[in-house]
Chains A and B, each alone.
Chain A
Amino acid sequence: MIRFTRVTKSYPRTGTAVNDVSLSVGKGEFVFLTGASGAGKTSLLKMVYMEERPTSGEVRVSGTSSVTATPRDVAKLRRKLGIVFQDFRLLEDKTVEQNVSFALEVIGAPPAAIGGKVGRVLTQVGLAAKGRAYPKELSGGEQQRVAIARALVNDPFALIADEPTGNLDDRATRGIFQLLREINAAGTAIMMATHNLELIRRHEYRTVEMNRGQIVFDSAESSAETRRVP
């Protein structure tokens, strides 16, 4: 479903961010992506939603190849992916409902279907009562729930989360992570970049560790005995 084949990504100024990486993520899988800052996690995730294209190699996501995809293909691909960031990226002048419905409006969803979908997804993330609130009236955890609701509203096959709990306290982190687990249990694959080793230790999900642009550990390729937590 998501496959990296010998992918290298270099930037003219900062050098190589991802170096000869091959990786597969299957349907419905939950993958932690970890490693120090600058290890290449964000670059790797950006190549999944094709914000960046590899310098060499190929990224293939749900039939879309980084080698041949046109801007229109990329737009179509993103409608099938949910993307969440550390800084939430909400529109401050729109309410919670409007932030979520925005994602449907801009891809030309039929207006009649929007209200129902938004209501359902806000209930799923536990914010049914706060649809009329503005982002600045919400806590960090709640804002991230809005961002997740926006990512989910198009029924994505995978959720790409780049440090989704990076700005949150422990309690909010636990809440968001529980929500991600529920989403995964319902069949959506999740690729989550995180620094939170505690989170990784406590759950038996596949863990991929990066260092200087390379994958230095992948729990899926290690036996149970050698499984370690970075």
Chain B
Amino acid sequence: MRPLREALVTFQRSPLLSALSVTTIAFSLFALGLFGLVALNIREALERLEDRVEIRAFVTDGTPAEDVVRAATDIAAYPEVLSAQVVTQEQALKRAQAELGEFKDVFEGAVLPGSIDLRLKPGMRDPATVKRVSSRVKAFAFIDDIRYGEEWIEKLYRLRNIAGIAGLALGLAFAIVSVIIIGATIRMAVLARAREISIMRLVGATDAYIRRPFLVEGFAKGVMGGLFALAMTWIAQALIDKYVIHTIFFDARIAFLGLLFGALIGLAGSAVSVGRHLRRV
């Protein structure tokens, strides 16, 4: 109870300073939140694109249908493969006509090659796996050619990796900045009570006892900053979703982790600050 009461007293004693520190933490976490949102939405978009990763293995004209079906069944049993669907020459033509709509007449009398269309299981759509499965399928004698949009799959993955690394690096940078900011605000609170702290030590209070209210204060500021940041991020996302582009928001688990992260930053900042003061005096 005492640490909580004393943390509250500090808030009351210097409301402006406390509000300022909560605000700075909120803005640091808000920046982090915005970037997190960008990363989340890139990831989500990539996943949607990944769903469309498809390997199309064209069948040599004149291959017996039962051979193709047998091969498709074999291929469907590969651990990486989600489905292997046989597309006959007629179906290929129909599909092409359907895709072209009003220009379907260009295919009048045309013959399109049949194929086996593969879809890979989620998590196995990376360039290396796609390449590996393709070369295995190509080993069938009647497979004429194979297409899997090699280039864009690789680009997609490169983009995703860059987004991931940039997110991590920026996240870390913002976390460090937030720790420094919280550390500085707690340091001011510590200095404001330096006399009280020195008397506490003189009469035999332990360092843990002295430290506790400051840790509670840092924790509370972290949580409050986190809540404000969450609210601001949510508003920003709602506005972007409404006026710019469809986006999604963090799920409850990630939002909670964000708050926890704020709280940890608060704790870390105050622990560093009080620890340094106690070592010096």
Contact = CB atoms under 8 A, between A and B. Distances in A.
A91 B204 contact: no
Nearest to A147: B199
A89 B199 contact: yes
Given A106-B209, A108-B209, A154 B199 contact: no
Q: How large is the interface on A (under 10, 10 to 19, 20 to 34, 35 or more residues)?
A: 10 to 19
A107 interface: yes
A78 B199 contact: no
B69 to A, nearest CB: 79
B61 interface: no
Nearest to A99: B199
A77 B204 contact: yes
Contacts of A83: 202-203
Given A106-B209, A108-B209, A154 B195 contact: no
Interface string A99-123: 0001100111000000000000000
A39 to B, nearest CB: 23
A150 interface: yes
A15 interface: no
In this complex, the interface size class of chain B, counting residues with CB under 8 Å from chain A, is: 10 to 19
B206 A78 contact: no
Contacts of B204: 75-80, 106-107, 154
Contact of B201 (A78, A80, A154): A78
Contacts of A75: 201, 204-207
A61 to B, nearest CB: 13
A71 interface: yes
B194 to A, nearest CB: 12
A228 to B, nearest CB: 34
Interface in A145-201: 150, 154
A37 B145 CA distance: 98
A69 to B, nearest CB: 13
A150 B195 contact: no
B207 A71 contact: yes
A72 interface: yes
Contacts of B203: 78-79, 83, 102-103, 106-107, 150, 154
B239 interface: no
Contacts of A108: 209
Contact of A78 (B196, B202, B209): B202
A186 B108 CA distance: 119
Identify the interface centre among A76, A107, A150: most chain B CB within 10 Å of its CB. Answer: A107
Contacts of A102: 199-200, 203
Interface string B98-141: 00000000000000000000000000000000000000000000
Interface in B178-226: 195-196, 198-207, 209-210
B206 A89 contact: no
Interface string A73-88: 0011111100100000
B60 to A, nearest CB: 83
Nearest to B193: A91
Contacts of A77: 204
30 contacts: A49-B202, A71-B206, A72-B206, A75-B201, A75-B205, A75-B206, A75-B207, A77-B204, A78-B201, A78-B202, A78-B203, A78-B204, A79-B204, A80-B204, A83-B203, A89-B202, A91-B195, A91-B199, A102-B199, A102-B200, A102-B203, A103-B199, A106-B203, A106-B209, A107-B203, A107-B204, A107-B205, A108-B209, A154-B203, A154-B204
Given A49-B202, A75-B204, A106-B200, 11 more contacts: A75-B206, A79-B203, A80-B204, A91-B196, A91-B199, A102-B200, A103-B199, A106-B209, A106-B210, A107-B204, A107-B205
